[in-house]
Amino acid sequence: MFFERIYEEGLAQASYLIACQATGEAIVIDPRRDIDVYLDIAKKKSFKITHVSETHIHADFLSGVRELAYATGAEILLSDEGGRDWQYEFPHVGLKAGESFMVGNLKFEVMHVPGHTPEHIAFLLTDIPAGDYPSMLFTGDFVFVGSVGRPDLLEKAAGIKGTQELGARQMFDSLKQFSNLPDYIQVWPGHGAGSACGKALGAVPNSTIGYEKLANWALTTEDEGNFVETLLDGQPEPPRYFAMMKKLNKQGPSVLNGMPKPPQLDVAAFMEAYESGMTLVDTRRKGPFSEGHIPGSICIPGVGSFSNWAGWLLEYDKPFMVLASEAEIETIVRKLIRIGLDNLHGYITGLDVWTGAGRELATLPQIDAEAAQRMVEKGEAHILDVRAKSEYIDGHIPGVTNIHLGYVRESIDEIPQDKTLIVQCLSGARSTIGSSVLMNKGIADVLNLDGGIQAWRKAGLPTEK
């Protein structure tokens, strides 16, 4: 048997390519939309991808099942569990609990494990030539290392009322199936630390049934009421784009048939789009952006959580542009299509399209902690904390307004604008994004707290819980 885990750091998302080396047949589980990584592995190892599947209708990324099936002719195997409202709307072979299928000499048994979503399934793998016993469980967003999938997304992100407590109770029951499996079975989840599909996910890539039964809080909690309360408490804010991912993944993502190649815009093309009001995303880091940027552009650095913040802040039905270097544009495009942001009008590589026409750049002034405190004490400024609610509760600067970065754009009317606005996060990175959103919305008197609340604490200034 051949096995490879493919991990995408930006979304903390894992997919898997498993192949029978005797027959050369392979399956990909939970593929992302840019599929060349799977094609490259298969070509290098002389495998043929004959099957493609996923554990559930994903909310955090756009699935690559249709893309991969189109490219390879692979059979699409998807859950037919969960009831009428949770059926995929494009052609596939349906899978039910207790059924199994073969990929060469590899046997995959289907488990229905609702909780995170009603249709969620897991795959129990047996390598028949090695022995008549299972060795791996692909859990998707059911069981993570040290945690379990969140059951509140359908209600909080997709707006389906009354589903989170039901999902939590279904998760409690599904975990009984998990606990009854042999302890030696390896657990390979769909996400790692940093994913918004759960809370407190472990950073190691995999675990075992036995270890999770010892160390995973969800498997050591025997009281159902306590389990439900603990599971629902403290879940991170679901990104705004999750509802769109659910919709597109259920309907069937459009097939790109290769990586899109957006045009590089010349001065005339850029200015025409800019003057029409089209959004420009500046993917440079916070330092260069703060020192000088095209007025109205939104700063979303192209590293780390770019996909996440792009999904939060961009509109799916409107075209946009990006500023990125020639060397970085392909990576930016990949991160965009992974969450279905396909409306990239084009890109520019620098500020010269603006400065070359004699136009002035905008800046984002920085302020240190001591100066910020003095302005607040004099009544000259107000602080906007754009961290998550859980971070705010854990400790914040007295008197701040807390609005999660992802909600800033739609919460402009709730933000004090009668004095200078100092934007703050943990270190100054998210607050740079938030500041750019405010300036894009016409709020000009904005300062970024350099170093965030970390610098505030380092200066010995007060915080409260």
Residues designated as active site: 425
Centre a 10 Å sphere on the Cβ of residue 284 and count the other Cβ atoms it contains.
Answer: 22
| CA–CA dist 284, 110 (Å, integer) | 45
Note the Cα 256 to chain centre separation in Å: 20
- 3-class DSSP state of 95: strand
First to last CA, the chain: 52
Phi first, then psi, for residue 287 (nearest 5°) are -65, -60
DSSP 8-state symbol, 125: E
Phi first, then psi, for residue 423 (nearest 5°) are -100, 135
Contact of 68 with 26, CB cutoff 8 Å: no
- Of residues 269, 262, 273, 304, the one with CA closest to residue 286: 304
Phi first, then psi, for residue 74 (nearest 5°) are -65, 150
Cα angle 124-125-131, degrees, rounded to a multiple of 5: 125
Q: CA torsion 249→254→259→260, rounded to 10°?
A: -120
Cα torsion 226, 227, 230, 235: sign: negative
